[in-house]
Amino acid sequence: MAAPSKSVTSLSVGLLVRDLLISDERVAAMATKIYPVVAEANAQLPYVCYRRANFDRQLAKGPGQGADTVAVEMLCYAKTYAESIDLAEAVRACLDHQSAVYDDGDGHRLAARSIDLEGSEEGWADDAYAQSLVFTVRVNNV
């Protein structure tokens, strides 16, 4: 029996975002690590934690299968308020108004036609200042 074929869909958008963040010189110089969904216990500040926060699918008639819109939340944690702002600014500069392609190395690709900052807020969590940035990522289905 043949192995099922693998696909990369908008559910994999976190992998695309992570690749952008780790390849950005400014973000890499500021963040000790970039975590998906949850940071490890006793993570060293400053760091970024990201998660897929929402998903919306728009079906279309005719050729193609419509488009997906995915909300991705970035949480930037730092010891001081100013550091959290600096890290959030670096993340924004890396992602806002970008388009990008994720390639899993096995010939599967995911293309984000746009990444745009849609919202932000700030807070305090786990003995750190936190900046939350919510990006909307638009992905065409193929």
CATH of domain 10-140: 3.30.2000.10
Average the pLDDT over 94-115 and give the result. 92
Residue 4 has pLDDT above 90, yes or no: no
pTM, full prediction: 0.89
**At CA 66, angle to CA 118 and CA 64, rounded to 5?**
145
The pLDDT, as a whole number, for residue 107 is 84
pLDDT of residue 65: 63
Sign of CA dihedral 71, 39, 14, 97: positive
Closest CA to 140 of 117, 112, 108: 112
What 8-state DSSP symbol labels residue 8?
Answer: -
Other CB atoms closer than 10 Å to residue 91's CB: what's the count?
28
The one-character DSSP state at 41 is: T
The residue-averaged pLDDT of 23-41 equals 97
